[in-house]
C-alpha cells in the first residue's frame, strides 16, 4: 500500500492506461462513476480485494458490487431471469445494481462475503470504454471510495481526503453527475425488493415491476452495508428543520427566508440536490449540528431522504 499522498491524474487516455496497469498488478484505483467515486480493484484477485477492505476499514461481512464492463457479462457471474434481463436491457449501462443468484466462477470469495447472491452493475461512465480500450475486460469490484461509514465522495478531493495514501491512484473526472449511489434491487423469481433507493428513481421500474417491496415491508434483511447509521458526517444531523438554531449550520432546499449556510438547490430541483448532497454534508461538517430542510419524497428525493435518515441515525 502506498504511503503519503495519492497520485491524482485528470481523466484522459494517459490516466486510464496507467489505471489499467495498476489494476492488472492488483492495485487500487479511485475513479468517477455516474453516481459517486468508486474504489476499483480486480474482482478475480483475492489480494487486491483484501486491500479494498483494508483501505476502507470495511467489515468483511459487507459484500462488494461487481462491476462488469459489458452488460452481456452479467450472465457469466449471475443467473439472469427474464425480469432481470428486461431491467438490464432497459437500464444498463446505468445506475442500477441487481442482486441475483450467484454462479460459481473465479470471482474472489471475499468480495461476496459468503452470500449465495451477487450484486452486479454495469456503470455508465467514460472510464468503462476507456478501460476496455486498454484491453482490460474486468470485472472490477468497486465500493464507494470513502472510509467505511463516511459520506460517499463525489469529487477527487473527497477521495483524497478519505483515502489519500491508501490507494495507488485517483482519477479526477470532475463532480459526479448523479451524486448518490446506484439503486439496488434484489430479484428472486418474481419477488423484487428495493434494497437501496438510489440515483435511478423507483418510479422508473413501474413498467416492469408491479409489486416493488421495501425491505421493511417484506421482512427482508437489508443489504449488509445498509446499516442504520451510514453515510454520516461527524456532525449531528437534524432533519426536517424549518428554522436555524444557535450553533447550527443550515442546509436549505428551494426558496427560503432562513439565513442558510448552503442550499442544495435554490430552484427546488431534486436532481441538483442529489448532486450537491454529499459535498454539502462534507463542507458543513465543521459545526456540531447540520440542520437540513425538508426534502420532498418523490423521484430521487426518496434516495436523498434515505441517506439523510442514515446520516442522522444514532451511532
Ligand atoms: O453507485 C454505486 O453503487 C457505487 C459506485 C462506486 O458504483 N458503489 C457502491 O458500493 O455504492 P458500496 O460498496 O459502497 O455499496 C454497495 C452496497 C452495500 O450496502 C452492500 O452491502 C450491498 O451493496 N451489497 C453488495 N452485495 C450484496 C448482496 N449480495 N446482497 C445484498 N446486498 C449487497
Ligand atoms: Mg459505500
At residue 3, the pLDDT reads: 41
State in Å: Cα 226 to ligand 1 middle.
9
State in Å: Cα 259 to ligand 1 middle.
37
Q: Is 285 left (phi over 0), alpha (psi -120 to 50) or beta?
A: alpha
**Whose CA is closest to 139, among 42, 16, 34, 26?**
42
**Whose CA is closest to 33, among 207, 136, 177, 190?**
177
Q: State the Cα–Cα distance between residues 27 and 168, nearest whole angstrom.
A: 6
Q: Whose CA is nearest to atom 13 of ligand 1?
A: 143
Find all residues with CB under 8 Å of 212, minimum gap 6, and list them.
Answer: 185, 192, 193, 194, 202, 205
102 CA: nearest ligand 1 atom: 29
At residue 229, the pLDDT reads: 66
At residue 222, the pLDDT reads: 61
Pocket of ligand 1 (CB under 6 A): 33, 35-36, 38, 62-65, 97, 99, 115, 117-119, 123, 142-144, 181-182, 184, 195, 223-226
> How much is the CA Rg of the chain, to the nearest whole Å?
19
Joined together, the cell numbers standing for residue 63 give 459484500
State in Å: Cα 186 to ligand 1 middle.
12
Out of 147, 184, 226, 227, mutate this one to test ligand 1's pocket (max ligand atoms within 8 Å of CB): namely 184
At residue 207, the pLDDT reads: 94
Residues of the chain with pLDDT under 50: 1-3
At residue 277, the pLDDT reads: 98
**Whose CA is closest to 109, among 41, 76, 63, 73?**
63
67 CA: nearest ligand 1 atom: 7
Tell me the CA end-to-end span of the chain in Å, nearest whole number: 30
Asked if 120 and 97 count as a contact pair (C-beta separation under 8 A), the reply is yes
**DSSP 8-state class, residue 144:** B
At residue 314, the pLDDT reads: 78
Q: State the Cα–Cα distance between residues 254 and 188, nearest whole angstrom.
A: 40
Q: Whose CA is nearest to atom 31 of ligand 1?
A: 223
Q: Residue 49 to residues 26, 54, 108, 286: CA-CA distances in angstroms?
A: 8, 9, 7, 33
Q: Whose CA is nearest to atom 21 of ligand 1?
A: 225
Joined together, the cell numbers standing for residue 148 give 467505511
Out of 224, 275, 277, 303, mutate this one to test ligand 1's pocket (max ligand atoms within 8 Å of CB): namely 224
Find all residues with CB under 8 Å of 217, minimum gap 6, and list them.
Answer: none
Q: What is the pTM of this model?
A: 0.95
182 CA: nearest ligand 1 atom: 1
Q: Whose CA is nearest to atom 32 of ligand 1?
A: 223
State in Å: Cα 141 to ligand 1 middle.
10
At residue 2, the pLDDT reads: 43
Q: State the Cα–Cα distance between residues 19 and 48, nearest whole angstrom.
A: 14
Q: State the Cα–Cα distance between residues 68 and 167, nearest whole angstrom.
A: 21
Asked if 67 and 139 count as a contact pair (C-beta separation under 8 A), the reply is yes
In what helix (H) or strand (E) does residue 185 lie, and over which residues does it extend?
A: strand 183-188
Q: How many CA atoms lie within 13 A of 61 on its CB side?
A: 6
Amino acid at each position: 500500500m502506498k504511503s503519503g499522498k495519492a497520485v491524482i491524474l485528470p481523466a484522459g487516455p494517459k490516466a486510464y492506461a496507467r489505471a489499467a496497469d495498476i489494476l492488472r498488478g492488483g492495485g487500487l484505483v479511485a475513479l468517477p462513476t455516474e453516481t459517486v467515486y468508486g474504489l476499483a480493484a480486480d474482482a478475480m484477485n483475492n489480494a487486491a480485494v483484501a486491500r479494498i477492505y483494508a483501505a476502507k476499514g470495511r467489515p468483511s461481512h459487507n459484500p462488494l458490487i461487481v462491476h462488469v464492463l459489458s452488460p452481456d457479462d452479467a450472465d457469466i457471474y449471475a443467473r439472469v431471469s427474464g425480469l432481470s434481463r428486461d431491467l438490464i436491457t432497459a437500464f444498463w449501462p446505468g445506475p442500477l445494481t441487481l442482486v441475483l443468484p450467484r454462479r460459481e466462477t473465479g470471482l474472489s470469495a471475499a468480495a461476496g462475503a459468503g452470500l449465495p447472491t451477487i450484486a452486479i452493475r454495469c456503470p455508465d461512465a467514460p472510464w468503462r470504454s476507456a478501460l476496455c480500450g486498454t484491453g482490460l475486460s474486468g470485472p472490477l469490484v468497486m465500493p464507494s471510495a470513502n472510509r467505511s461509514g463516511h459520506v460517499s465522495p463525489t469529487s477527487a478531493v473527497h477521495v483524497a481526503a478519505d483515502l489519500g495514501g491508501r490507494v495507488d491512484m485517483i482519477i479526477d473526472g470532475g463532480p459526479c453527475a448523479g451524486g448518490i449511489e446506484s439503486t439496488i434491487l434484489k430479484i428472486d423469481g418474481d419477488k423484487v425488493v428495493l434494497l437501496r433507493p438510489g440515483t435511478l428513481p423507483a418510479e422508473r421500474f413501474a413498467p416492469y415491476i408491479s409489486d416493488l417491496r421495501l425491505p421493511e415491508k417484506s421482512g427482508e434483511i437489508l443489504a449488509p452495508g445498509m446499516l442504520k447509521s451510514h453515510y454520516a458526517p461527524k456532525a449531528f444531523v437534524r432533519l426536517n428543520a424549518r428554522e436555524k438554531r444557535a450553533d447550527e449550520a443550515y442546509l436549505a432546499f428551494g426558496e427560503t427566508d432562513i439565513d442558510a449556510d448552503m442550499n442544495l438547490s435554490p430552484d427546488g430541483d431534486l436532481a441538483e440536490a442529489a448532486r450537491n448532497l454529499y459535498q454539502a454534508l462534507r463542507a458543513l461538517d465543521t459545526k456540531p449540528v447540520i440542520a437540513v430542510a425538508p426534502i420532498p419524497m418523490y423521484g430521487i428525493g426518496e434516495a436523498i431522504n434515505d441517506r439523510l435518515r442514515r446520516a442522522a441515525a444514532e451511532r
